Homo-oligomer: A and B are copies of this chain.
Amino acid sequence: MYVTLPTEPAFPAASLPMRGSPKRRAAFQRTLRCAEGHTLFYEGDEAEMIYQIKSGVVRLTRVLENGRRQVISFGLPGDFVGFPDGDRHHSDCEIIAPAEFIAHSRRALESGEGNVETHRRLLHAALQEISAMQDHFMMLARKSAMEKVASFLLVLSQRTGIGFGAQLAVSLPMSRADIADFLGLTIETVSRCFSQLRKDGVIVLDTPQSVRVRDAAALRRAALSTE
């Protein structure tokens, strides 16, 4: 069953697939569609569902009291988002490219209610998340600006790139500010790194949101920078 999300302002979408459903107690899994610009959940919301992204892109963010923002991660197809801390979400989740989700009840993760196999997959995803975040520690703490941007492009091209002749077309639905807050850089530095990669012939910038990777090997070298 599909729940199409509207063009109205953001709302606690997490609650939608459950409320008022006659099959509520049996609804461990639902499919959900959501337009760009909407917020799937906010920090502090009660976490009723965990979402697997079928298509589209989401952005997980967290804000410090002084206003500094951190983009925790970008959710790409295949990713799970919404793992709770206690019974609450600990970040905001905004849709930045029209997305479809499979929504799982939180109890499917916590108690295996509904389906043992689903429980196993959710748990596995949560543990993988921990490992992936550790990789990102390296990124934030030990890589130069160019390495960060190159690594970012590399991952994105590997996960969502589309063959385009000898090149790989990559869409960047997020803004430069999002990328900067993800990598721990400023907007200007991110922009300068893109320009440098363009000047070096590694990438082509058709529009700021549309990149083609011309030299994947060079990109990989820039991302590692063993020197």
User: Nearest residue in B to A183 (C-beta to C-beta)?
Assistant: B141
Q: Mark A residues whose CB is within 8 Å of B.
A: 62, 64-66, 68, 70, 72, 83-86, 90-91, 109-110, 112, 120, 123-124, 126-131, 133-134, 136-138, 140-142, 181, 183-184, 224, 226
Interface residues of A, dominant DSSP? helix
Known A123-B110, A127-B84, A130-B133; judge A138-B68 contact (CB<8 A).
yes
Known A110-B120, A224-B66; judge A134-B91 contact (CB<8 A).
yes
Q: Is the CB of A142 within 8 A of B83?
A: no
Least Cβ–Cβ distance between A128 and chain B, in angstroms: 6
Chain B residues with CB under 8 A of A181: 141
Known A110-B120, A126-B126; judge A68-B142 contact (CB<8 A).
yes
Contact among B85, B130, B137, B141 for A83, CB-based, below 8 A: B130
Chain B residues with CB under 8 A of A110: 120, 123
Contact among B72, B85, B127, B142 for A137, CB-based, below 8 A: B72
